[in-house]
Structure formats: structure tokens, C-alpha cells
Structure 1
Amino acid sequence: MSRKFPESVVFIVAPDADGAPNVMPAGWSMFSSNDPLMMAVSVGLERYTHDCLRDADDYVIAFPSAAQTEDIVYCGSNSGADLDKISESGLEPAASAEIETPILEDAAACFECRPGGSFRTGDHRIFAGEIVAAHVSETYEETVNNLGRAWGDGPERFKTLSELLGAEHTPP
């Protein structure tokens, strides 16, 4: 599995049983349909977020920006079953356009989703969601990639393409 890096990373924002938003970073996501426009994420069966997504009427898939690397580490190192990751991290929720679950400020992009089906794949379940609204940051143009633990255990392992290539390779 070490050869899978770099991989994209997303935040999954899904309400818990009380309706409070729970956030989990995930490495396995993809666009899965053009018509209707859909995205899918894969979540381990034992993860707290699995049950949140399974029971959700809506959820958000957000692509973190470079400003959120510490939040990726924090949310990936703690369980929403034990604490409110949004209030304990630097993440700032914002009102969504079409759904109840909040989007995340400072994310490079956020996609509001309604459940479109799921299926089990071994020790994970893939959740597909129909995108009902999209938000793109005017401040953060790049998403971050997970480079793997060989780069470290903290925020240093999450980089944008420009950070990896250096300033001379960034688009104009």
C-alpha cells in the first residue's frame, strides 16, 4: 500500500445521530457520474463516520486547502464518537446552499451531497452521493495531497502540487 501515495484527501462532513456535524478525512474518493453529477467516498466499516453517513439525509465532501493540514491530522487522529471535532479543531463551518450539513470555510472546494446509494467492499463501504450544490474557494485554488507517513506523521505530509514542485512550476 505504500506505493499508493500521493493520494488526494477529502473531508467528509456528515451529521451524527444528534444532527451535529462530524468531520473525517478520507483518502479514497472519486467523481463517479456525470449525469447526475455524483461523487463517492470509501469509509471503513468500523469508523464512526461510517454510521453517520449510513444514516445521513445529506453530507458534504470537501477538498481541504493548504490552510487545513493541521485540521486533517487532528480530525484523522480523533474520533467523533469521543469529541466534537469541529469545535476542537480550527475548522469553521458555514451554511450550505441546499442541505442542512454545513460546508467548511477555507476548503478549496465543497460539494453538497444527497445519498445516492452504497455498497460494501470488504472492510469498507462506498457511499455515492448526488451533488446538489458546489462551492469553490476564491482564496484557496489548490487541494492538498497525502504523501504518506514516510514524509512524517503531522501536517508536513500534506502538500499542494505547487508546494511539491516548487514556485517555478506553479501555474500563472
Structure 2
Amino acid sequence: MAATDDRQGGAEVLETIVVAVDSSPQHAAILDAAAELAIATGAAVHVVTVADASCEAGMALNRSCTGVFTSLGREVDDVLRAACQRLSDKGISCRTHAMSGLVSERIVDLAVELRAGLIVVGHRHLGWMQRIFENSVGRDLLEHAPCNVLIVKEGADAG
């Protein structure tokens, strides 16, 4: 995962950060947290947005949703473009990844592929009813990620 740096007495060096964002207002706080770490460590930043396959499957069943997938594609492009701009404003370059599938699985797959040392995601509080119908990406990542996971809480300052 992370390389060992002899200059720091064998301490782990953070080389790659995977940052997962969506169109929620919290994305700014997630990007700012990742930027702070990238600046401090010199790590490469990869920003990913994952279109949830279960949502896509549900929409695909409804034939009256013409243009929905084109709209989703534009939203993903907009999210990634805005993320890169926010990071660029802080002097950080990034690579972007637009994926679809089960969100936590795709984030883990990317982290494994990139040999990431950290995944940064957001957290939003789900009520008991939402928990019945929605999966917790953060919880899944904590269980399956190949590296550390930083969860930025909802309402965190976006600077």
C-alpha cells in the first residue's frame, strides 16, 4: 500500500489518496480535508464519483426515463470538474474516475488498483427508516477497504 520512508524512521508515507464525492453540498468539506492531507504529504489525489447501479437499474425499468442517463453523465462530469477546480485552486492536481456500480465496492476496487494509502469520503446521518433502504457506504468501506478511511462528517466546515 504505502511505501516506507527511511528518512522518517520507517514511518509510512502517504502516496495516494482516493477521494469519493457526489453532488451533495458536503463535497467541498471532503475535498478540503483531502487537500490538506495531500499538501502535507505530497500524495497524489484521485477523485472518484460512482453512479449507484441499483438506482440505474431502477430507472432502466421505467421506459419513460428517456434522457436520464445522459443527465446522470452530465452530473458526474460536472461533479468531477468542480472537484478538480476546487483542488486546483489549492495548488493540487488530480486524476478523475467516473464509475458505476455498487458505490463502496467500486471505491474499494479503485483503492486496490491504485494501492491507495487513504480513502476520503463523506458521512451523512441516516435515520432509522433510511437505513432500512439505503446502504452505508462509510460502514462498508470501514469493513472492506484495503487502507485507512477518513470519514468527513456532515456539516464539517468547507473553508
The bucket for the TM-score relative to the shorter chain is under 0.3
Work out which structure has the larger RCO, using CA pairs closer than 8 Å and 6 or more positions apart in sequence. 2
Structure (1 or 2) with the greater strand fraction: 1
Greater C-alpha Rg: 2
Q: Taking structure 2 as the reference length, what is the TM-score of the superposition?
A: 0.24
Q: Taking structure 1 as the reference length, what is the TM-score of the superposition?
A: 0.23
Structure (1 or 2) with the greater helix fraction: 2
